[in-house]
Amino acid sequence: MKRALPLRLPAALAALALAAATGTLVSMPEASAATGSATGYAAQNGGTTGGAGGRTVRATTGTEIHQALCGRASASTPITIEVTGTVNHANTKKVSGGSCDTADGVIELKKVSNVTLVGVGGGALFDQLGIHIRESTNIIVQNVTVRNVKKSGSPTSNGGDAIGIERNVRNVWIDHTTLEASGGESEGFDGLFDLKDNTQYVTLSYSVLRNSGRGGLVGNSESDRSNGYITYHHNRYENIDSRAPLLRGGIAHLYNNHYVRLNESGINSRAGARAKVDNNYFEDSKDVLGTFYTDEAGSWQVGGNVFDNVTWSRPGSENHPAGPDPKSTTTVAIPYSYRLDAAGCVPAVVSRTAGANKGLQVSDGTC
């Protein structure tokens, strides 16, 4: 029997009432701080605590973020970096030191551990500047907006990814972020949230991903199947052409997300990936689940989802939609506790909680 994720105490009482009606809450949750703690797969493998226990510094530029990383006693000394204002190319320069590995024009969390990067005050905007997490462990990024990161044109940053995570990364929690672009690859943009090259134990929660050709991927090719154990919950994908996300190999758990205007395809489970897809709300979209653009199939376990004005294409040699009546093709055992909101409540819950500058609100179990 699963134990519910921690909630604030008043929310717990409401959630218990909901449980009586829906049966989705299985036991009394515990109280927790408003900022919460890592959920989903990021809470596994020893957990994700970021810079907890270390000193807290304030940064208003990208260079100051790099200086904070480079000023630590070691690359693993815990630190919380509070960011306020706009971070851009003009104020993000390489800083050298024994506890960091940084570069101009991108926020580099590279070969480091035990770091929290959190937006405070009036907000933290990373404008045309991506966040790159590479060869790192125990990282939290929370309450930031990243927009219009380009891989071509000018200026370029982070290979065009708003947040890009790659190469032997473990335990990352991305929470209450807003990731957005202004078009697709032809306009110079790539993915909003990409994971590749042996990245594991990651959670993306309470975030907004919008106005992009590509929402994000797990694995950069059909042979890159070393990634997995990824949780996506209480996120809003809006006006995304495809990759919401694209999964190659590994296991992903997707629950209580709101998908609006997925224009070409949505959750693309392929190359042996296995996806558990619970109590999501899909709206005004096409081909929201299946294996697309390849003959190397993935699989899925579905339950409790709502399909509202969703259209499905005909199956083909490289096009294998799960609908119009999606059925499970695998089973996925989830090792952590979680509470499901009713799918019909997801649009309202996600609208008031997801994204940066929402006060780090989380679901209280009610519509």
Contact 358, 36 (CB under 8 A): no
Closest to 5 measured CA to CA, from 363, 275, 342: 363
C-alpha 240/C-alpha 28 separation (Å) is 37
* Helix (H) / strand (E) containing 178: strand 178-183
Contact 305, 281 (CB under 8 A): yes
Place of tokens 């904070």: 68
Tell me, what DSSP letter sits at residue 5? P
Pick left, alpha or beta for residue 227 (phi over 0 → left; psi -120 to 50 → alpha; otherwise beta): beta
Cis peptide bond prior to 326, omega within 30° of 0 = no
Residue from 72, 243, 248, 274 carrying the catalytic annotation: 243
Please measure the distance between the N-terminal and C-terminal CA atoms of the chain and give it in whole angstroms: 25
C-alpha 137/C-alpha 200 separation (Å) is 10
Closest to 117 measured CA to CA, from 168, 75, 172, 169: 172
Name the amino acid, one letter, at 240: I
The answer to whether 170 is a known catalytic residue is no
The three-state secondary structure class of 155 is coil
- Which residues are known to be catalytic? 243
